[in-house]
Structure 1
Amino acid sequence: MLLNINGMTPNPLPCQLSRTMHQILANKKRHRRLCTWVAALGLLPTHYALPSYGQEVIEEVLVTGQDYLSLLPKQKSSSAFGLDKIITQTPRSVTEVSSDLIEKFALRSVDDLVRLTPGAFTSSFVGIKGAMDIRGEPADNYYRGFRRIANPGAFNTNIRGAEKIEIMRGPASPLYGNSSIGGQMNYIPKTVKSTAAKQDGVVSGDIGFTVGSYKQRIAALNLSLPLTLNNQDGGMHVFAEIEDSQSYYDVYEPSNELLQIAFNIDTSNRTTIELGGQYQYSDSIQVPGWNRVTQALIDDGTYITGAPQERNTGEDPSQLLPQESGFITSAAPVSINNAFSNVGRFCVPAERGGDFDAAATYNGKELACLGGSYLYPLSNVGTTYLEHSTTFIDDNDFADTTAITAYLDISHTFANNASWKTALFYDAMNHKKYQSWGFTAHYPNAQLWELRTRYNFELNTQHLSAKTLVGANYRHEDLTLKHAFLDETFDFRDISQGPTPNDRIAPAIDNPLANVHFGTDANGNTVIAEGTVYRNYNVHEVSQNKNAGLFALSDISLKRFNLLLGARYDQFQLQAEDIATTLLGNRFDSSHSAPGQQRARDNAFSYNGSLSYQFTSGFIPYITYAKSHAMTANQLGGAIPKTLASKAFLQDSSLFEAGIKYDGFDGRLYAALNYYNQDKSEQAGQTQALTEVFGQGYELELRAVASDALSIVATATHSETYEKGDKIFTVINAADFARQNGLAASDIYGGRIAGERATFVGEGAKLERGGLPNNILSVFGTYQAPLNLPFLTPAPNNTGKLTTSLGFTWADKTASDVFGSVILPSYTAWTASLRYETQRVTTLLQINNLTNEKYYTSADLFDSVVVKPSEGRTLSCSFSYAF
């Protein structure tokens, strides 16, 4: 076998570029490691010639309404459904966000995709920007059409590494596996350019640096190389990025490494192999935002100060051990860790209380708070003004993630225009974090792989044409999830003063009872007789999922009618076990009706159908109905032992959608308007309580190229999302609880008040989800004009362009939680950018939150007690050089 990369002349450029990146950001060992990998590219045997400025340049001809931002969805894409189809003609809600739009509209994370995506608004998952919320539901993360390990709160998804992001609303294509209603974010990496490298036959790339507010520092490299294999064309692309930054929020200093590499090789005139992978390291910790949330805090920044009760006994003077945050005894049930909490009370309906329980009321419901008094008064109570940069954070907090993704595609095209493709996908994650409010998580060696094969063919007659794919897949997941959260408490810390030994919950470890000896008390209960108890994991779920599926999808056109039909059959073989033990060494699942390892098998049939009609005027109305099944999963995506035991691990969801799309004005305007109505069942929150979710809404997307200079993007959403979940674990707003019981908030802030949701609102209550604005509007415009600067664009290369972008996102006011305890006001956040580019040099200035608007985002978890304050105005300046 002969492999060539355009000759054998050594290429020093990648090594030089990597050394430059290393000099700027090599203050950490992992940065040096990544720079070494990139530098290794310099050993590749390459030969290339950079065109000089003296060479003849073909004059660029601008066409009226030129789409210089890849704004209009004109290209056929097989990603959304698996069939080549223009989004305008796709009878579903799909939004494409290209890398050009990510750059020019200053998009920094998946949270910012709301600016260009109707139906999307992401609540704060304790500050981690790992996945989107679509139509009020968490969306699945896909990588080149394969579902990844779930990532609601592990690490930030780096959208700068995407060449394109596809946001699909509703269930996934049958091609992509079982999924629930809501949506998907399909990440197309920059290494998709390996195809272009093969076709262009030249070495190309760019190196870029970004600096910005709060010591933002990012370095990035793109490199495309043509190659040959046994006289067949091929291409290779590498993308690498290093970030080492501080941030607007005090103490929070995220760093990130991303490396992508891909090969695209023709082994014959009809067969192509694509091989690639991605490595990411991230240390982004969770930042919940503000605690002690009151309406006064939201309205004018008035924060209630005060110190929690003295609980630290000095055994570990830096943090609270389990015997300090609770009382360990076998008199406490296994389900609550064989420990009565000293930092919170669990409330039940009054009729279920006993003589020693404290009476209270909330929302007109009579309560009994188990264990006695719910008073946890603060000392030295006062008030202060809280800056948005001050949040619930601790120097001891950490979150380390390593994620590795790899893929292999083999594609073959037959003489009759049919095609066959087999793809192998692998995803792995190692993640561990500690947050001092009382949460520790560890996902050791989580991994999955999937094999998918499909056959595409066409049928054409005089009146009918059909594009069809059929195929099968097998998916295998091995996932381990370890969580410690029973003592999570937010309000007892005064964040204006920072963490103290009396409000820093100790992290969980694997052997918390290593130096402990047990004894019995006077009542015969088992207690700790000697030794130090460290915190334990109260969930340790080990699961395996084997999923085999068959799928078919057909795109049928009859004159102006189009029918899109899809179906999928899945078989599941699952096993899961919770091996967590309590503070007395007892298995948590010993209190379950079916302890030990659980096994289950089942099958499911999902389908979808869409009908559309294309008018000559450019309007395309459509209707869609879909029925889907998805596996009930924990936060990592693994099977839950309890649901296997009860045979309730598959949950149904359905969608009805009707809309109209428009492509007009000589292809310079794209518009889409739709109505959706969906319902689903899911396991919600840390306790995985069964929840029914109902959503409906209207979505509008508009993209227009008004002229060569002016482009406009606008989106609008009206949505309503309701849920029913009697068993959802709920921590209620302490200030609201205190007000309803004639107390001051400071009387409660030293602990927490919790219970099942039905305790506070009654059984079967259908409540609107908090934190989701009913109305959202975004409008962004860009203006481009030629501008030639003599020192950057010497004649005859007069190719300089100046592009300005300005836009806003407006979100309606919303309640922070289902109880309406705090109202988060409406806001308008402006974003601007200024870009100057020549044939080789590009500079970009981005300004986020231009007017320094103060606004708030509700939390995905604990939405009654924490809220995320907005980031202030930030600036970043990027420079890149293309070669």
Structure 2
Amino acid sequence: MKSNHPPHRRLPRRLLASLLLSGGSLAAQTTPAARPDTAPRPEAVTTMEKFVLAEKVDDPAGIMPNTPADSVFGLGLKSIDTPRSISVVTAEMIELFDIDDINDLVALTSGTYTSSFFGVPGALDIRGAPGETFFRGMKRIKNPGNFPTPIGASDRIDVVKGPPSPIFGPGPIGGYLNFIPKSARASTGRYLGKPTGKIATTFGSFEKRVSTAEVGGPAPIFGKTGGYYAYVLTENSGSFYQNSYQDQLIIQSSFDYDLTPSVRIQFGEQYHYYGGTENAGWNRISQDLIDNRNYITGSPPSIDTDGDGLNSRAEYLAAGVNVLNFAIANRPYGNTNPAAPNANYRLLNPGTAKLERNQVLIAAGDKVDSKSFGAFFDVIKTFSPTVTLTNKVFVDYLDRYKYAAYGFSQQQEAFTFENKLVADTVHTPSDALKITTTTAGSFYFNHANGRSDTSSETFERRDITKPSTAIDRAAHAYLRPDLKPWDNDITSKYTDLSLGLVTAVSYRERTHLLLGARLDYIPKMTSKQNGINGPLVRPAPLPGRNQFARGEVVENDDSGTSWNVSLSHNLIVKSGNLDVLSVYGTRAHQSLISSGQDGEVAPGVVMSGPLNGTELKELGFKASFFGGKLFASVAGYSQTRSGVSDGAVDLTVTATKGEGIETEIRYVPVKQLAFTVAANWQKTVYDPPLVLQPSGLLGVNAGIQWGNPATTGVPGINAYGGTVFTAVPAARASTDFIERAGSPDKVLSGSVSYTMMDRLTATLSGTYQASVSADRLKSVILPSAMVFNGSLGYAVGNWHLKVSVSNITDEWYYRSNFPDIFGGAVVLPLPSRGYEFSASFKF
């Protein structure tokens, strides 16, 4: 589908060429005569992807979790000895199975099915709860859907289930992703005798165009041994969906130097530009639309009274179709009055049409523009083989704005700085006893500004079988604040001082007791609301509830504790520690800061105390058999997330309880063949099912829903000119409507790869998702689906060619769009069958 998007950034080819040439010239200028310890290795190990393999299993597909699971507790434990469910996705798996964004991870990992955040894959839902992202073990700015999280730039992705370690800091209960960037290979690059790398390009359906280049090698300076690694990705693609596109530029680099025999430094950066659109998907949804593609067409009267082609805040208010008219547009669940709230809600020329998957609520001119930059600098001092001190510095920055013609604009700017001092020690009192301890003190600073225009988010006004017109097109708050001023303009700032400790006590390498604790202290958090959604339009708070004035700076302090207790025991250990059966149990409590889309904390949350609690109980077992060729894990969990949020600015669920069982199997019977299986059964409910937010607003858990005819009782021809609300009836909130929508209770996936003659590689993966309600009131049920993807690759010399097919059977399937509140109004149809061709050259 042609995207028809305006001219946008293109990366000149010479930038990719410059990266490769600079790598070669750097090595030529700085590499001294080869010494015994830096002489080139045999050709078989100069390919960096294979250099770090240390296990006996020959696993070219990279599916076995052989690397230390530092992303969980930071203790260097193997995955099988780590008392927590964790899924490792390597660079080999990302390339082999065409993992382009975080939603693709569900084909290889358990518990990671994620509902849509308006089409932008920013963060995973893990175990039915929103997750977060870490970069080399350091917390990134919150990204539920600000920009697509880069996948291809990763050397490894650790999907950790449950809250972060006391060493990592406050985080979500479901889990998080820890990205180990490709530039981390600088630590191996310094051992290479010459630069090595790869260039690749991908073309495909829907105008997909992606090119990458990466190079690493030795880079000694002033006699100091060192290495570098650099990676560049440029994308200039169209989209399956009408009026959408995707532009990306990623520049990543890393350097690693030995200053002395005991002091090493690592530093680097990642810049990411993203240009594209958000995607609300289909509007005017009904069960008939999902089952039969029958869409109600027609347009309501124009409310553009001044004829400028844009609908202003004043025009929405005058027409009575905007979000703020809750009293006018509210219809209780079970309403039997079909009348329109007013004449501007009625469709003038109603009809029906068969809707295609690519016809969605994206207008020409819709845009997301995001720039993010992260930089790190680590100093590692090794005092002895058992004592190491590391100082880690990480800086993160985000600048983003977004516009959608249906009436939603955003602007975000955020900055974080963290300095973490980590001490690692190993004490061996006897041959049977080993004590490993990590202690970390951290200074974390967060400054965030989040603006949003939500007062006229009228999804239904546009007939998406036709282009957007002045009937549905809202003014852009970012460009025309005179017509659409920001409803919410939250600026917050805080510092988190913390001290954490994790200790693992191992007895005879079979029994492991892990204890951890953390204290977070926020001496001062400030927040203010400069948007016009101040107390002028808010309902008066209930007695004892906090309230604040527009522009008033709210200030508070807070503290919280986190802890973790885990016990694991290896029931079987044999075959050189490659055959292991381990059982474990974990209990954890974690502090969590309730924040908005880029980490801003609303004044109402600051007043109530921003640190809230989460709890996890987990039991499981892990097994490695057949000389380490088979890895299996099973985990059962129960988790709770409590907290407060300001429903005006933070639409994430604040209090839930989830339970589930998940399993993964990975098997490499022979070098040429690899299998993965992942499955989970889960249920997440609101806990409590109804809650009043501290600002006096009804929030997400109170059950305000963007309605549809099945829930509001108002037929579409009388409702689609504006927003009609309904609310979860209190009497049924804890019974029929207690379950969180959008996440299927069953997700099963599997994959297989087979290589013939070391040249031809075939892959097939499939994912089954059970049927699921799109919204809390169960008005629309999304059908179950089975989706297959496959590829066929051929290697000759340094070249590798591959053809890939996504959605092989052309399955019609859907993803709920922000189900906590918008699930009854919009849904995302997923793309049809697509093809890709890629070519790469290694040197």
Q: How high is the TM-score relative to the length of structure 2?
A: 0.89
Instruction: Provide the rounded CA distance (Å) in 1 between the counterparts of 2:660 and 2:421.
Output: 36
Contact kept? 1:733, 1:821, Cα under 8 Å = no
Counterpart residue number, 1:594: 548
Distance 1:29 1:57 in 2: 36
Q: How far does residue 575 in structure 1 lie from its aligned partner after superposition?
A: 3.0
Question: Could you say which residue in structure 1 is the equivalent of 2:485?
Answer: 536
Which residue of structure 2 aligns with residue 516 of structure 1?
Answer: none
Shift of 1:360: 4.9
From 237, 243, 268, give the equivalent of 1:245: 237
Matched with 1:153 is 145
Is the 1:728–1:757 Cα contact (8 Å) retained in structure 2? Answer: no
State the alpha-carbon separation in 2 of the partners of residues 238 and 57 from structure 1: 21
CA distance 1:257–1:86, change in 2 (3 Å): same
Corresponding position: 1:675 with 2:636: yes
TM-score by length of 1: 0.85
SS of the residue 1:325 aligns to: helix
Q: CA deviation at 1:508?
A: 0.9
Equivalent pair of 2:323/2:454 in contact (CA under 8 Å): no
Q: Quick one: distance in 2 between partners of 1:67 and 1:456?
A: 31
- Aligned partner of 2:63 in structure 1 is 71
Aligned to 2:421: 453
**Structure 1 pair 590/597, CA: closer, same or farther in 2 (3 Å)?**
farther
Please identify, of 229-238 and 534-543, the stretch whose mean Cα deviation from structure 2 is larger: 229-238
Equivalent residue in structure 1 for 2:740, among 769, 791, 807: 769
Match of 1:545 in 2: 494
Residues 326, 342 of structure 1: 8 Å contact kept: yes
Within 5 Å, give how 1:99-498 maps onto structure 2: 99-316=91-308, 318-327=309-318, 341-343=320-322, 360-363=331-334, 373=342, 376-444=345-413, 446-462=414-430, 463-498=432-467
Give distance in 2, aligned partners of 1:57 and 1:234: 21
Match among 688, 691, 695 for residue 650 of structure 2:
688
Q: Could you tell me how far apart the structure 2 residues matched to 1:92 and 1:424 are?
A: 27
Unmatched tracts of structure 1, length 5 or more: 1-25, 50-54, 328-339, 349-356, 514-533, 787-799
Task: Give the one of 841, 850, 864 matched to 2:799.
Answer: 841
Aligned to 1:46: 27
Of 754-763 and 231-240, deviating more is 754-763
Task: Determine if contact 2:443/2:497 at 8 Å carries over to the other structure.
Answer: yes
Question: Take 2:129 and 2:121, find their aligned partners in 1: how far apart are those partners?
Answer: 15
Q: 2:627 matched to which residue of 1?
A: 666
Shift of 1:470: 1.1
Give the stretch that moved more between structures: 284-293 or 612-621.
612-621
Q: Name the counterpart of 1:626.
A: 588
Aligned to 2:559: 603
> Which residue number corresponds to residue 572 of structure 1?
522
Match of 1:810 among 761, 765, 768: 768
The change in CA–CA distance for 1:45 and 1:477 in structure 2 (over 3 A counts) is: same
Deviations 1:103-135 (A, max 9, x none): 111211001111111111110000001111101
Q: Is the 8 A contact 2:737 2:776 kept in 1?
A: no
* Matched residue type, 2:548: A
- Counterpart residue identity of residue 708, structure 2: A
What is the distance in 2 between the residues matched to 1:709 and 1:821?
Answer: 48
Deviates more, 1:816-825 or 1:61-70: 61-70
Unaligned runs of 5+ in 2: 1-6, 32-40, 574-579, 692-697
Structure 1 residues 762 and 373: alpha-carbon distance in aligned structure 2, compared to 1, 3 A threshold: farther
Deviation at 1:747, TM superposition (A): 1.4
CA separation of 1:703 and 1:39: change in aligned 2, threshold 3 A = closer
**What is the deviation of 1:836?**
1.7
CA-CA distance at 1:586 after TM superposition: 7.0
CA distance in 2 between counterparts of 1:679 and 1:429 reads: 30
SS state of the match for residue 720, structure 2? coil
2:664 is matched with which residue: 696, 701, 712?
Answer: 701
Deviations 1:43-66 (A, max 9, x none): 9443299xxxxx997799999962
> Is 1:870 the equivalent of 2:830?
yes
1:816–1:864 Cα contact (<8 Å) kept: yes
* Alpha-carbon offset, residue 285 of structure 1: 1.2
**Structure 1 residues 57 and 556: CA distance shift in structure 2, 3 A:** closer
Q: What amino acid is the match of 1:230?
A: F
- Structure 1 residues 855 and 686, CA, compared in 2 at 3 Å: closer, same or farther? farther
Deviation at 1:254, TM superposition (A): 0.6
Percentage of pairs with the same residue = 28
Query: Aligned letter for 1:605?
Result: T
Q: CA contact under 8 A between 2:131 and 2:174: conserved in structure 1? A: yes
Report deviation, 1:38. 3.8
CA distance in 1, matches of 2:295, 2:123: 31
8 Å contact from structure 1 (residues 118, 717) kept in 2: yes
User: In structure 2, how many angstroms separate the alpha carbons of the residues matched to 1:34 and 1:750?
Assistant: 49
Shift of 1:695: 0.2
Retained in 1: the 8 A contact 2:281–2:828? yes
RMSD: 3.0
Which amino acid in structure 2 is aligned with residue 872 of structure 1? S
The alpha-carbon deviation at position 397 of structure 1 amounts to 0.7
Correspondence for 1:716: 679
CA distance in 2, matches of 1:842, 1:695: 44
1:98 is aligned to 90
| Structure-1 separation of matches of 2:534 and 2:170 | 40
Distance change (3 Å), C-alpha of 1:343 and 1:585: closer
Q: Which one of 735, 751, 764 corresponds to residue 709 of structure 2?
A: 735
Partners of 1:68 and 1:170 in 2: CA distance: 29
String of CA shifts for 1:633-670, please: whole Å, max 9, x gaps: 1111122211222x331211100000011011111100
Q: Does 1:825 align with 2:783?
A: yes
Q: Distance in 1 between matches of 2:190 and 2:90?
A: 21
Secondary structure, aligned partner of 2:100: coil
Q: State whether residues 295 and 354 of structure 2, in contact with CA within 8 Å, keep that contact through their aligned partners in structure 1.
A: yes
Could you say if the C-alpha distance between residues 771 and 374 of structure 1 is closer, same or farther in structure 2, counting changes exceeding 3 Å? farther
The CA distance in 2 between the partners of 1:360 and 1:384, in whole Å, is 27
Q: Measure the CA separation in 2 of the matches of 1:460 and 1:35.
A: 50
For residue 505 of structure 1, report the CA deviation from its aligned partner: 1.3
Q: Which residue of 2 aligns with 1:651?
A: 612
* Alignment check: 8 A CA contact 2:522 2:558 kept: yes
Aligned mate of 2:572, from 601, 604, 616? 616
C-alpha distance in 1, partners of 2:740/2:344?
Answer: 29
Q: What is the one-letter code of the residue matched to 1:28?
A: R
What letter corresponds to residue 770 of structure 1 in structure 2? Answer: A
CA-to-partner distance for each residue in 1:807-857, whole Å, 9 max, x for gaps? 200000011111100010000000101122244111122211111111010
- How many residue pairs match? The answer is 792
Identify which range, 668-677 or 553-562, moves more after superposition.
Answer: 553-562
CA contact (8 A) 2:557 2:609 kept: no
C-alpha distance in structure 1 between counterparts of 2:382 and 2:797, whole Å: 37
SS at match of 2:104: helix
2:656 partner amino acid: V
CA distance in 1, matches of 2:182, 2:491: 34
Compare CA radii of gyration and give the structure with the larger one: 1
Letter in 1 for 2:824: S
Aligned residue identity for 2:762 = T
